[in-house]
A = this chain, B = another copy of it.
Amino acid sequence: MSDSEKQTMATKVVDKMYNNDPFSQWLGIERVKDGAGDSVLRMTVRKEMLNGFAIAHGGITYSLADSALAFASNGYGQMAVSVETSISHTAQVKEGDALTTSVREVSLTRKIGVYYIDIHNQNQELVATFKGTVYRTGKDWFPE
């Protein structure tokens, strides 16, 4: 596939995933960039996402990163499912903070992909770092 065909495929897959994803929509996730092995997502933290410390619940940044993992790893047009993920929360996230993902594809074999996903706030401060491992099933999103 050419780069432009790759891009078209990634957008087509993530369109299909995102348009049927009520939770990503509840989070207010906005897609800045789709890609094969890449996904830039942005969201703003709302009051209903806070925990008992008045900071974002750990599940919010995890969910954002997990969506980026799903979009990036499925962006090749082949189905991939998460098998292991971990996250470290490195700075507090407050109401109104705008969060952005950046994905690094560390390793990609026929069957396994490994991704690091950092989340920064509007001040370019790292608030969470996430590692995700996916299993690639070999099934196409759009079989010909």
Contact = CB atoms under 8 A, between A and B. Distances in A.
B22 A47 contact: yes
Nearest to A92: B81
Given A62-B62, A70-B52, A21 B83 contact: no
The bracket for how many chain A residues form the interface is 35 or more
Interface string A84-101: 111111110000000000
Interface stretch (A4-12, A32-40, A106-114): A106-114
Contacts of A47: 22
A48 interface: yes
A58 interface: yes
Contacts of A118: 106
B52 A16 contact: yes
A51 interface: yes
Max chain B CB contacts within 10 Å: which of A49, A57, A85, A131?
A57
A21 B142 CA distance: 41
A91 B81 CA distance: 11
B50 A21 contact: yes
Given A84-B83, A114-B88, A63 B52 contact: no
Given A22-B50, A58-B66, A90-B114, 8 more contacts: A16-B52, A23-B48, A58-B63, A59-B59, A59-B62, A84-B114, A88-B131, A90-B109
